[in-house]
Chain A
Amino acid sequence: NAGVTQTPKFQVLKTGQSMTLQCAQDMNHNSMYWYRQDPGMGLRLIYYSASEGTTDKGEVPNGYNVSRLNKREFSLRLESAAPSQTSVYFCASSAQHERITEAFFGQGTRLTVV
């Protein structure tokens, strides 16, 4: 079972470069999320998508854009990378049934901006 798949697993960027982090889920979930995890800051929500065609800002959206390409895929784009965006990025998806939401996470993308 693939679950939530993120690519790439590791990436090094120079300041000012752009890149897109890819995420795909095969569980037919409506909702998908992008989080970043930093030491001492925990997991912080960047963007989320409640359903195909909708996206909303989370706690730390500045410097990022997202695309919900279809129900399976939710990508995160850094247009002009900055060292402050060095982090581990996690994609998640969730199933919801009668207000109960269960989330599943990918293995993460470790991004270093130099």
Chain B
Amino acid sequence: KQEVTQIPAALSVPEGENLVLNCSFTDSAIYNLQWFRQDPGKGLTSLLLIQSSQREQTSGRLNASLDKSSGRSTLYIAASQPGDSATYLCAPKAAGNKLTFGGGTRVLVKP
């Protein structure tokens, strides 16, 4: 059974600092991994999808890396802004149809 851990559980930084969010998973036989953002009281918005054959995926200020063999992914957010305040979740996808989620990292960017 896939177990997904996200560290830290919460993070508070001043505006402008870079954010580093970690995701680890126990079953490294994944096909892809998705990073999501969730604002309070809202649904999940897909940020990035990184395929198992990729080492990195970038979208604007966001960069996700994947080390499949060690079961780790990292989401980097450059030059953080107050609007980046949200909970970030990772979800690796292994065989079968089920996404497994980590508990998320709650981010607060202070102006």
Binding site for B on A (CB under 8 A): 31, 33, 35, 40, 42-43, 45, 48, 50, 56, 58, 90, 92, 94, 99-108
- B51: chain A residues at CB < 8 Å are 100
Q: Is the CB of A108 within 8 A of B42?
A: yes
**In the bound complex, what is the Cα–Cα distance between A42 and B102 (angstroms)?**
7
9 contacts between A and B (CB under 8 A): A43-B101, A90-B44, A94-B97, A99-B32, A100-B49, A101-B32, A101-B97, A103-B46, A105-B45
- A90: chain B residues at CB < 8 Å are 43-44
**In the bound complex, what is the Cα–Cα distance between A112 and B51 (angstroms)?**
38
Q: Is the CB of B49 within 8 A of A102?
A: yes
How many residues of B sit at the interface, in one of the four size bands?
20 to 34
Binding site secondary structure of chain B: strand
- B49: chain A residues at CB < 8 Å are 100, 102
Q: Is the CB of B43 within 8 A of A102?
A: no
Q: A42-B101, A42-B102 are contacts. A103–B43 as well, Cβ < 8 Å?
A: no
Is B98 interfacial (CB-CB < 8 Å)? Answer: yes
Q: Is the CB of A42 within 8 A of B104?
A: yes
**In the bound complex, what is the Cα–Cα distance between A100 and B57 (angstroms)?**
14
Contact of B34 among A42, A50, A102, A108 (CB under 8 A): A102
**In the bound complex, what is the Cα–Cα distance between A106 and B42 (angstroms)?**
9
Measured CB to CB, the closest approach of chain B to A39, in angstroms, equals 10
Q: Which residue of A lies closest to B100 (CB)?
A: A45
Q: Is the CB of B34 within 8 A of A103?
A: yes
- A31: chain B residues at CB < 8 Å are 97
Q: Which 3 residue pairs across A and B have the least CB separation, nearest first?
A: A105-B44, A43-B101, A107-B43
Q: Is the CB of A100 within 8 A of B46?
A: no
Q: Which residue of A lies closest to B6 (CB)?
A: A42
- A33: chain B residues at CB < 8 Å are 98-99
